[in-house]
Structure 1
Amino acid sequence: MSMTMFDEIRPYYDEELPQIFEELIADPAFQNAACIAMPEVSFDAIASKMRACKTKQEFQKAFCYGILWKIANDFSDGLTLDHTALPDRSKFYTYISNHRDIILDSGFLSILLLDLDMDTVEIAIGDNLLIYPWIKKLVRVNKSFIVQRALSMRQMLEASACMSRYMHYTITEKRQSIWIAQREGRAKDSDDRTQDSVLKMLAIGGEGTILDRLLEMNIAPLTISYEYDSCDYLKAQEFQLRRDVEGYKKTTKDDLLNMKTGLFGYKGRVHFQVAGSINEELVKLDPALPKPELFSRISALIDRKIHANYRLYPGNYVAHDLLSGNSSFTSYYTNDDKQRFESYIAKQLERIEIPHKDLTFLREKMLLMYANPLTNYLAATCV
């Protein structure tokens, strides 16, 4: 396999970093972003620290680790990871997770893994988010590989095949773990479902049956639970715009606002829960099943693992009761919890600035975002 076939999508090799660092340091837009991220440090000091980094992980430890923990400390009430379901650190995994925040889902995972003396993950990131040249360079320094999106059907098939082969190569040859979202984009209503297309892409690379190819990827479902979603009001706003504006599409400005809000908005408690590898369940499946049924069963399996591992907070129970109009879950929250959550929702709704603001619709969408994890947890655990 020629490694040059991955050149358009792979993270940079460590030997490429000096040139990339110089290009970033010379870019005024990167200079501005770096000074905003680290206002207490001169850009000359930042540039000097960058030049001292010889590997991608050194860069992550020198810059990303501190910035991400500062975000966690400033804008959350705690960030935790339970990785005990995967005790074997000699293996490498494809973490497939639900997707809440554009940047922080994979970023928080990597710093939490570093705190366990484990390596950071390679990250699948859509090219629609690589708005400026410096962002594309920076994410590839940060161990990201590029998911190419706005392509023709034929180009999409070729790009999917290339990415699949790259991911198999990353697990088996590079011996690096990977993070990928269970679907394209975030689930705006927090009804987290694995898209069959993600599994079909993973099953292009490797050899043998579909099950053989997926077994090679060591898929480990990962559940990410934010007590509060900083972008909830933006997601609710998007629901109304899609309802009211024919052909509505988000703009680059919208993506930037979502990234900024996700980074610097209040999150409450944040927990990452890793399930065991699904390989034991995969080997029990019949490889002769029709492909659509096989992929559907595997998606449902991953969904059950993700849903069963939600960390549920008082707001999830309050939202469920408010939506259903009953008091089924009052034992899981206090009056103070309820008042706090309702006050939070009201303040987020005030932040929405669109014409013909439909408060009833918007409030229902926001409550649904917090109720759906509980609904799915109950279905997955048969409580």
Structure 2
Amino acid sequence: METPAEYDDIRCYEAKDLKATFDALLADEQFCGILQQLFPEMAFEQLKAGIYSCKEVIDFQEKFIYTYIDKLMSKVSLGYDLNCEKIENKRKAYTFISNHRDIVLDPALLAMLLIKNGFSTTQEIAIGDNLLIYPWIKHFVRLNKAFIVQRSLGLREMLAASKKMSSYMHFVIREKQNPIWIAQREGRAKDSNDKTAEAVLKMVAMGGTGTPLGNLKEMNIVPMSLSYEYDPCDYLKAQEFQLKRDNADFKKSKQDDLLNMQTGIFGFKGHVHFAMGTPINDWLDELEDAPKGEFFGEIALRMDREIYRNYRLFPGNYVAADLLRGNADHASHYSADEKNHFEKYLSGQLAKIIIPNKDEAFLRERILEMYANPVFNHESVL
């Protein structure tokens, strides 16, 4: 199904766009250099011919993206999996709203896991325009089924852009019958205290033609939990906390964003687990008579509980919780060796931070919070 022209500036690329997109990417010197680094065993002309042979987006994803990521994950992880037992109909188009650890790998791994677990297709992905720091990145993500969240706008323009994006998302679910992935809030929760933003739910509800409840039901929302045993960017997040603490005007540069993306992709992650929770349509009608001012807040709260309930917690999470609180309340969840291993890991990550006036105690606490908060949130819903 062809997407209406009104969405041309934000939609993901389709089969009709492939030739022009490949032309633009293969004319970009930086992209070509990266491509050759990723596939050193293939001659450039062979790569080029393989890319142009792709007639559908899924062809490009399976031949190049998923082949590479699967090989990469065998080196930088201990495996990745998906629990989707709460999803009865895998051919239905769902909107997966999840916590967020890595803007590149979160949706890429989910797409691969959907195919491996019998879903009918890969999902479209919401990605902020602030991350599209080079022209080739914008082409590349839209080639991989990303649609653009426009963030660098004034208030009035932002409202119009949100309505347009919501309308597009409803079109994707209703007409294209394609699943969607969107993060539960703008940007990562750098302390891993994951909370669904009411603004995200309000945006999703804008695009339909019915009531807010009806519009949300149309989107078939599923809360989803992402659990990384190790976050390769933990030290970069801690560093950013101190830089912002010491300088209220601090803002990350394009180079900082690129470093975060590279570190997230190529850094060691340990085990990675995705878990789909109960679709909210199972209980959404219970809120039909909720006060207008509480409606979205109550949905966000219930979604958070589902996300927390479905975390997979690792020994390092429990070690961090005890180190942060200065007790041994979770000692039954880890061995002495596992505790020593995590403390060694923590010291290694802290050593990577090289900034003026490095506050070791502050930085250590920030990293511990990143690993401990999932434990505290999970325990809050038991």
The SS at the match of 2:287 is: coil
CA distance in 2, matches of 1:303, 1:64: 31
2:346 is matched with which residue? 345
1:364 is matched with which residue? 365
The Cα offsets for residues 201-241 of structure 1, whole Å up to 9 and x where unpaired, read as 00101121110000000000110000000000000000000
Matched, 1:125 2:127: yes
The Cα offsets for residues 31-86 of structure 1, whole Å up to 9 and x where unpaired, read as 01111221222221111011110000111001111111122111001111111110
Does the Cα contact within 8 Å between 2:90 and 2:118 map onto a contact in 1? no
For structure 2, list consecutive stretches of 5 or more residues without a partner in the other structure.
none
CA distance in 1, matches of 2:27, 2:253: 28
CA distance in 2, matches of 1:258, 1:150: 20
CA distance in 1, matches of 2:18, 2:278: 35
2:235 is matched with which residue? 233
1:64 is matched with which residue? 65
Residues 369 and 18 of structure 1: CA distance in aligned 2, closer, same or farther (over 3 Å):
same
CA distance in 1, matches of 2:252, 2:278: 36
Structure 2 length-normalised TM:
0.98
The ranges of structure 1 where at least 4 consecutive aligned residues each deviate by more than 6 angstroms after the TM superposition are none
Matched AA of 1:179: W
Question: Shift in Å at residue 286 of structure 1?
Answer: 2.7
Q: Which runs of structure 2 are paired with 1:1-383 in the superposition (5 Å)?
A: 3-118=4-119, 119-287=121-289, 289-290=291-292, 292-381=293-382
CA distance in 1, matches of 2:59, 2:159: 35
CA distance in 2, matches of 1:76, 1:322: 25
CA distance in 1, matches of 2:86, 2:189: 25
CA distance in 2, matches of 1:288, 1:330: 42
CA distance in 1, matches of 2:287, 2:248: 43
Percent identical pairs in the alignment equals: 51
CA distance in 2, matches of 1:76, 1:120: 22
Matched AA of 2:295: L
Residues 43 and 247 of structure 1: CA distance in aligned 2, closer, same or farther (over 3 Å):
same
Question: Shift in Å at residue 288 of structure 1?
Answer: 5.3
CA distance in 2, matches of 1:138, 1:159: 22
Matched AA of 1:53: C
Structure 1 length-normalised TM:
0.97
Does the Cα contact within 8 Å between 1:211 and 1:287 map onto a contact in 2? no
Matched AA of 1:78: G
CA distance in 2, matches of 1:253, 1:278: 39
The Cα offsets for residues 246-285 of structure 1, whole Å up to 9 and x where unpaired, read as 2111110110000000001010111001112111211111
The Cα offsets for residues 311-366 of structure 1, whole Å up to 9 and x where unpaired, read as 00000110111111111111110000000000000000000010000000000000
The SS at the match of 1:113 is: helix
Question: Shift in Å at residue 117 of structure 1?
Answer: 3.4
CA distance in 1, matches of 2:248, 2:328: 38
CA distance in 1, matches of 2:33, 2:175: 38
Question: Shift in Å at residue 198 of structure 1?
Answer: 0.3
CA distance in 1, matches of 2:4, 2:289: 31
CA distance in 1, matches of 2:85, 2:46: 39
Question: Shift in Å at residue 114 of structure 1?
Answer: 1.5
CA distance in 1, matches of 2:90, 2:18: 28
Question: Shift in Å at residue 90 of structure 1?
Answer: 2.7
The SS at the match of 1:189 is: coil
Matched AA of 2:321: H
Matched AA of 1:199: L
Matched AA of 1:92: A
For structure 1, list consecutive stretches of 5 or more residues without a partner in the other structure.
none
Number of aligned residue pairs: 380
The SS at the match of 2:283 is: helix
Q: CA RMSD in A?
A: 1.2
The SS at the match of 2:286 is: coil
Task: Tell me whether 29-38 or 266-275 shows the greater mean CA deviation.
Answer: 29-38
Question: Shift in Å at residue 243 of structure 1?
Answer: 0.3
